[in-house]
Structure 1
Amino acid sequence: MGKNYERLEFLGDTFLKMATTISVYTLYPHENEFEYHVKRMLMLNNKNLFTHAIEKKLPGYIRTRAFDRRTWYPSDLRLKKGKATKAKARRHCLSHKSIADVCEALIGAAYLTGKSNNSMDMAVKAVTAMVSSENHTMINFSDYRARYTTPEWHTYEPNAAQRNMVERIAEIIGYRFQCAPLLRSAFKHSSYVYEEKIRRDYQQLEFLGDALIDMVVVDFLYTRFPEADPKWLTEHKMAMVSNQFLGFLCVKLGLSKHLMLATSSLHSLIREYTAEAKEAEEKAKGCRKPHGNKAAAGSDKGASAEAPSVTLDFWAEIQQPPKALADVVEALVGAMFVDSGYSFSVVQDFFAKFIQPYFEDMSLLSSFASNHPVTVLIHALQEDYRCTQWKLHMASVPPSTDDAGVAILAESELLCALMIHGNVIAHATSTKSGVTAKLTVAKLALKKLESIQDANHFRTEMGCDCGGGGSAAPLN
């Protein structure tokens, strides 16, 4: 029967994120990114998936043990000869997360089933069944566009600046926007308040584009590396969609020149980063590798790619770009998707032309992926200190209230905390995503662990008595 559900769960989790993102963007075109995030989180969290899996009696179909033909017989027949199966052996214990993971694996299986026909309809239907929410009732992929109501400001007559931007962006990416105001909004920073007719900045489109890029990257990795395990896939996906790469891509394509903002400090940071990126690229052009050299995509993944003639990982060696640059790339992809009438092919084309060429040799990412703060933290806790009682705990921050009892939405709504033996070692909040909060916590925790000399010192400081056995708690 092949592999277990882990790879399918990785694929289905990403499609679930994309589907629910498109849905909330479609149904609530006038709401902000925070409201989108809350609505999406209520659909894709493990508790919701588990609840509806129980309603559908899904756990009864989950296999946790191999089939034994010597002890199996139909339950409605009386055994006259042979050894009867003990009642206890018929039962198994499944965690909430395991059942939720199976839900995501089913979505992944539905996606692969329809992929051969270039259709996402079955996967969309699977998402609707699994989340069971009024915020995702679509059955076919075309239902997303059918439910979308175009905002009034999209229909405004474009001015000269907007028409000029359509031409300039078409020259860069090869896609010509039909809705000039929509394109303009993809480059509008929240500090830019000088075009009142453009009612939105890029945050809503960035929220949409982030999920679209995640999906096309995961689909590429899943297909290209059929033997790669979920850990390897996750680490390399994080590198490909990182702010560090997308920020560089924004500068490389010249998209940063069209960013509309009114913050002098951000202007300075972008100029400084642009200069460093150009210098790094010039140096990389002189670093050629021998022709015919093969580079494995992962230590035991059984796949390899021809090494490029010019090193293409120089972007990972320079300073972190301002996040606004990565946001613009994601917003542009989101805007293309909406402008094209919800065509996922425009996202695939953008990926194939501008992102994939940098990742033909995945071995270039091995160092970047393994040095990701979350990966480094997990390795330190599991391998160096042998601690089993730790977890990265995610939770939403409840809104505060004023003296009159009126709820006030907090600026930071997601909380992540590293807990070791019940003690909070580091914590952070984020309005963007759990990934952002988790990254911040990992950096803070690693800084605190710098003073730890060895495993014995760790046990003394953290009150750890794990004894070096077992495996770590899962990330929540």
Structure 2
Amino acid sequence: MLWKLQGFIRDEPFDPKDWMIPGYNCGNYSLNEETLCNAKKIYVRGRRKLKCKKVADVVEALIGAYLSTGGEAAGLLFLDWIGISIDFTNISYERHFKVRAEKFVNVQHFESLLHYSFQDPSLLVEALTHGSYMLAEIPGCYQRLEFLGDSVLDYLITLHLYNKYPGITPGLLTDLRSASVNNNCYALSAVKAGFHKHILQSSQKLYKDIKETVESFQELSLEYTFGWESEKSFPKVLGDVMESLAGAIFVDSGYKKEIVFQSIRPLLEPMITPETMTVHPVKELYELCQKEHYELRKAIVSYEDGISSITIEVEANGKVFKHTSTACDKKMAKKLASKEVLKSLKGANFS
């Protein structure tokens, strides 16, 4: 690093006994003089080892400091200062095809739901088109917009949580983001808004999966259910559509993130708060095993006919607790198995 930032990282307490006056030379306590790239001199005494991750974390923290105090312009200037030159010049996105949007989607209905009027409604069509829907009139599916919207929503929700909860710990802030930015939360919001009824697709399996998922949640109070807490996986397309719509608004508005947040945030309500958030079972089990010195053994994973099966096993005080769960995806299976093992551990009598 040109600015030798690693030399300024304080990762150990200050000890007055080891402090020396800069420029003072006396036997083994002499300081070495080094010059930074701006010709400023610093004095160093010996060498110390720092892990690359610690240096990277400090750089990220500095980016966050500039971003939170001076905005994105200040963050970009800092990046340029440390040698990471990024050009964010906005170039108008030109569409090379025309689509009669009203022929495929109810544009007015979506503009009312999103509180946003599209300059180019063909972006709305693209955002709702699954890869199975093959028509020459629609040359692309939602995947590019989903890729973009995923990053935009991640950034916006992270910024929202950081500003709304200034006093909470970094760990809790990370948990809040994980609980807010995931496919199940987005998918549940899409179902509540009725987006599943408007997805352009021609896959019988996908249609069946969406239908079964929506029916299984009709008995629940969707207003107060978070996707994070769900014990069943949503079809990925439902969460993807929420992200692709965010990407479509981002492009159509001329890359205005604030407009994206104004449109999408109401659909995500009620957002998870520190009071309503539950710890993810996988993380809770890991932390419990660390605290009580239980042995969390390596998970056993198997696949059959597209179904994931995971066995979680913990040895605690001479007893073995294990559970096997199956689900359409590995993460959900691991979550369900961990939840059952946790329940057994909490109810166990070790006396």
Classify the TM-score, shorter chain. Answer: 0.7 to 0.9
1:176 Cα offset (Å): 1.2
Task: Give the unaligned 5+ runs of structure 2.
Answer: 33-43, 321-351
Q: Note if 1:449 corresponds to 2:312.
A: yes
Distance 1:238 1:384 in 2: 25
1:226-260 Cα distance to aligned partner (Å, 9 max, x none): 23222222222111112221111001112111111
1:85 Cα offset (Å): 7.3
Alignment partner for residue 96 of structure 2, among 144, 147, 152? 152
Distance 1:214 1:274 in 2: 25
1:79 Cα offset (Å): 6.1
Distance 1:131 1:180 in 2: 40
1:362 Cα offset (Å): 3.2
DSSP 3-state at the match of 1:449: strand
Q: What residue number does 1:300 align with?
A: none
Alignment partner for residue 358 of structure 1, among 270, 280, 294? 270
Q: Is the 8 A contact 2:187 2:227 kept in 1?
A: no
Q: What residue number does 2:51 align with?
A: 95
Distance 1:125 1:78 in 2: 38
Q: 1:249 to 1:314 in 2, by over 3 A?
A: closer
1:444-470 Cα distance to aligned partner (Å, 9 max, x none): 6xx3333x4436578xxxxxxxxxxxx
Q: Map of 1:276-355 to 2, 5 A cutoff?
A: 276-281=216-221, 311-313=224-226, 316-317=229-230, 319-355=232-268
Distance 1:91 1:252 in 2: 58
Alignment partner for residue 68 of structure 2, among 112, 129, 154? 112
Q: 1:426 to 1:336 in 2, by over 3 A?
A: farther
Q: 1:359 to 1:110 in 2, by over 3 A?
A: same
Q: 1:233 to 1:108 in 2, by over 3 A?
A: same
Q: 1:315 to 1:214 in 2, by over 3 A?
A: closer
Distance 1:56 1:457 in 2: 54
Q: Note if 1:261 corresponds to 2:208.
A: no
1:337 Cα offset (Å): 0.5
Alignment partner for residue 161 of structure 1, among 100, 103, 108? 103
TM-score (norm 1): 0.56
Distance 1:385 1:350 in 2: 47
Q: Is the 8 A contact 2:146 2:245 kept in 1?
A: yes
1:342 Cα offset (Å): 0.4
Q: 1:221 to 1:278 in 2, by over 3 A?
A: same
Q: Note if 1:123 corresponds to 2:75.
A: yes
DSSP 3-state at the match of 1:268: helix
Deviates more, 1:227-236 or 1:174-183: 227-236
Aligned residues with identical type, % of pairs: 26
1:88-118 Cα distance to aligned partner (Å, 9 max, x none): 965322101111111111111121122xxxx
Distance 1:93 1:348 in 2: 43
Distance 1:184 1:202 in 2: 9
1:420-448 Cα distance to aligned partner (Å, 9 max, x none): 8xxx86689xxxxxxxxxxx9xx86xx33
Q: Note if 1:209 corresponds to 2:149.
A: yes
Q: Is the 8 A contact 1:177 1:339 kept in 2?
A: yes
Q: Is the 8 A contact 2:176 2:272 kept in 1?
A: no
Q: 1:280 to 1:183 in 2, by over 3 A?
A: same
TM-score (norm 2): 0.74
Task: State the structure with more CA Rg.
Answer: 2
1:363 Cα offset (Å): 2.0
1:188 Cα offset (Å): 0.8
Letter in 2 for 1:378: Y
Distance 1:243 1:78 in 2: 61
Q: 1:145 to 1:326 in 2, by over 3 A?
A: same
Q: Is the 8 A contact 1:187 1:259 kept in 2?
A: yes
Distance 1:217 1:90 in 2: 43
Letter in 1 for 2:158: V
Q: Note if 1:370 corresponds to 2:293.
A: no
Q: Is the 8 A contact 1:72 1:85 kept in 2?
A: no
DSSP 3-state at the match of 2:133: coil
Q: Is the 8 A contact 2:120 2:252 kept in 1?
A: yes
Q: Note if 1:188 corresponds to 2:51.
A: no
CA RMSD of aligned residues (A): 3.5
Q: 1:129 to 1:249 in 2, by over 3 A?
A: farther
DSSP 3-state at the match of 2:192: helix
Deviates more, 1:228-237 or 1:253-262: 228-237
Distance 2:229 2:280 in 1: 12
Q: Is the 8 A contact 2:25 2:31 kept in 1?
A: no
Q: Note if 1:58 corresponds to 2:2.
A: no
Q: 1:262 to 1:314 in 2, by over 3 A?
A: closer
Letter in 2 for 1:145: N
Matched residues, number = 306
Q: Is the 8 A contact 2:114 2:263 kept in 1?
A: yes
Q: 1:457 to 1:312 in 2, by over 3 A?
A: closer
Distance 1:145 1:314 in 2: 35
1:363-405 Cα distance to aligned partner (Å, 9 max, x none): 2222xx332x3x1453365235556xx9xxxxxxxxxxxxxxx
